[in-house]
């Protein structure tokens, strides 16, 4: 009879599963090239897990990195995991701020990882016109598979963003802040419409996924903060399932 791991062994087993999932995804995105996470690469990914980077966020960071490399044309060599860390930690920082996980709750003894993830303040923002252009493209792509109610909300958002894009590059001061605030409202409207279109089974799955992401932080968050974080994480999960972009400019 197999003995179930407990304590440190259980943590190690979870980290091992996390690393295997990252390794498999990295291989798929590198067109099937076999890439083993061993030595420093394995330790690096274990640090993501110990810091509480949700697996979904880690895989999305790898996608972001690989998409950028592949847009430049074919590569003779596969992209190693080390090249993906900046995107993974940037995306983790965006997720952490979006769902309201305080930095203290996300801190670990590894200061090198902490410093990288805290680098959001020094990261260059995407230009607003380019951000709107990319958002419109993703919304248009998501429109085809969207149910009627969500499709109507997407259509309204695309029209509004298309109008805003024409002057986005010249907006300053209050006018720019007003547009940024409007993007936040549109984000919530799109997520609410996507969630409203989910059946009971999908809603339950979305909630479980949001709870799993926040599990490492549950004990370190007040009840009200945790409830708000669950709501925000649920929005992000349902938005990603529907293929919707994040309109708020991080």
User: Mean pLDDT across the chain, nearest whole number?
Assistant: 85
Rounded CA gap, 44 and 140, in Å? 37
96 CB neighbour count, 10 Å cutoff: 23
> Are residue 83 and residue 161 in the same domain, yes or no?
no
What band does 119 get if pLDDT is binned at 50, 70 and 90? very low
Q: Quick one: pLDDT at residue 107?
A: 52
What band does 73 get if pLDDT is binned at 50, 70 and 90? confident
Domain count, the chain: 2
> Are residue 44 and residue 151 in the same domain, yes or no?
no
What 3-state DSSP class applies to 2?
Answer: coil
CA 243 to chain centre: 12
Residue 85 lies in a domain: yes
Full domain range(s) for residue 236:
128-241
Q: Quick one: pLDDT at residue 54?
A: 92
Whether the per-residue pLDDT at 74 is higher than 60: the answer is yes
Q: What predicted TM-score, i.e. pTM, was given to this entire model?
A: 0.69
| Residue where one domain finishes, among candidates 122, 147, 168 | 122
Residue 213 lies in a domain: yes
223 vs 107, 211, 230, CA distance in Å? 19, 13, 11
Which single residue is written with the structure tokens 């966020």? 57
Q: What is the mean pLDDT of residues 141-166?
A: 95
Q: Quick one: pLDDT at residue 98?
A: 84
Lowest mean pLDDT among 13-17, 41-45, 107-111: 107-111
What band does 12 get if pLDDT is binned at 50, 70 and 90? low
Rounded CA gap, 58 and 178, in Å? 32
> Are residue 118 and residue 132 in the same domain, yes or no?
no
Which single residue is written with the structure tokens 């259509």? 155
> Are residue 113 and residue 154 in the same domain, yes or no?
no
């Amino acid at each position: 009879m197999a003995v179930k791991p407990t304590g440190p062994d259980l943590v190690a087993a979870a980290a091992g599963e996390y690393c295997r999932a990252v390794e498999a995804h990295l291989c798929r995105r590198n067109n099937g090239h076999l890439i083993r996470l061993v030595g420093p690469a394995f330790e690096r990914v274990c640090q993501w897990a110990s810091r509480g980077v949700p697996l979904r966020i880690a895989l999305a960071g790898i996608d972001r990195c690989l998409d950028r490399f592949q847009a430049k044309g074919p590569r003779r060599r596969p992209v190693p995991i080390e090249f993906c860390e900046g995107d993974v930690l940037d995306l983790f920082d965006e997720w952490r701020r979006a769902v309201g996980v305080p930095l203290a709750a996300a801190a670990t003894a590894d200061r090198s990882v902490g410093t990288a993830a805290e680098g959001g303040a020094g990261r260059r923002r995407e230009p607003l016109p380019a951000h709107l252009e990319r958002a419109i493209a993703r919304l248009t792509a998501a429109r085809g598979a969207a149910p009627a109610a969500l499709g109507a909300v997407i259509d309204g958002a695309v029209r509004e963003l298309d109008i805003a894009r024409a002057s986005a590059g010249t907006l300053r001061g209050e006018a720019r802040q007003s547009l940024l605030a409007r993007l936040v409202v549109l984000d919530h409207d799109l997520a609410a419409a996507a969630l409203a279109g989910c059946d009971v089974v999908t809603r339950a799955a979305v909630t479980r996924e949001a709870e799993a992401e926040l599990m490492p932080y549950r004990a370190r968050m007040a009840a009200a903060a945790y409830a708000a974080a669950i709501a925000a994480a649920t929005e992000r999960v349902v938005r990603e399932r529907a293929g919707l972009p994040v309109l708020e400019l991080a």
